[in-house]
Amino acid sequence: MVELDPLIRAFYAERYVEDDRLVRSGHGRLEFLRTQELIRRYLPGPGATVLDVGGATGVHARWLAADGYVVKLVDPVAEHVATASEVGTFAAMVGDARKLEQADDSVDVTLLFGPLYHLVDAADRAQALAEARRVTRPGGLVVAAGISRYAGLLEYGNKGMLSEDTLPEFEVALTTGRNYDDPTGFTNAYFHHADELRAEFDQAGFDATEVLGVEGPAAATLEHAAPADVPTLLPSAILLARLVENDPNVMSTSFHFLAFGRA
């Protein structure tokens, strides 16, 4: 049994449907399309091996396999792995980002979409990055997702839920990066500044680290858009995200970052 925070396990088992997260809202579609775009920009050619750590039910493993990559998914939630295993185009197994079963230098690309924001202790995040570096061939690509330190604040502000009464809920997260389980919101997590995520990659020994904003400033607009309006809004939102993806003045308006480094 993988050692997973019980609150995080309960969040995914009882409160949150992971399988359709990136299709059920405008923001989810924006995040998915931009994540695909950014990953494809850096990937080696089809046929390369991809280890999808924290891959949940296989939302990214599916399209990576369809693009011709040899994909193995690892996730600590057995229910996620069971769903992913039913797809049939990639392998899936239960595992822990901090102690991967893969051999040294055995994959071309390692993805960490989830581990760095669900591992709230810095030592655990460092261990996950060390494991990703260990299993990735020299010169291979490691990509990790982080949640912006301002994501919750931006979401509440755009929902009309930010007030003098709710503002204290964000003080700990804004100061320390740590978010604590909220029965009506997100579970235990760590929220990054972009330069902090880059520093964690650098400290883990990766080369040529680059951190990019995923969704851009229109994330909140898409989050609350009527479904009928999303197709009209998406092209503009994607273009905006591209234009400011590495602008340090506005990239934290993205809800998520992606960090890219070479082993």
1 has pLDDT over 70? no
Helix (DSSP H) and strand (DSSP E) numbers for the chain: 11, 9
Over range 108-125, report the average pLDDT: 96
Q: What is the mean pLDDT of the chain?
A: 90
* 195 vs 20 pLDDT, higher one: 195
pLDDT at 162 over 70: yes
pLDDT at 169: 76
Which amino acid appears at position 196 of this protein?
E
Q: For residue 103, what pLDDT band results from cuts at 50, 70 and 90?
A: very high
Task: Say which residue, 153 or 232, is predicted with more confidence.
Answer: 232
pLDDT of residue 11: 52
- What does the pLDDT read at residue 15? 46
Render 19-47 in DSSP notation, one character per residue: TTTTTSSHHHHHHHHHHHHHHHHH---TT
Tell me the percentage of the chain whose pLDDT exceeds 70: 89
The closest of 42, 41, 21 to 32, measured between CA atoms, is 21
Tokens of 82: 């069971």
How would residue 178 be classed by pLDDT, with cut points 50, 70 and 90? confident
What percentage of the chain exceeds 90 in pLDDT?
A: 73
What pLDDT shows up at residue 164? 86
Number of other CB atoms surrounding residue 252 within 10 Å: 20
Query: Sorting pLDDT into bands at 50, 70 and 90, what band is 184?
Result: low
* Average pLDDT estimate for 17-38: 84
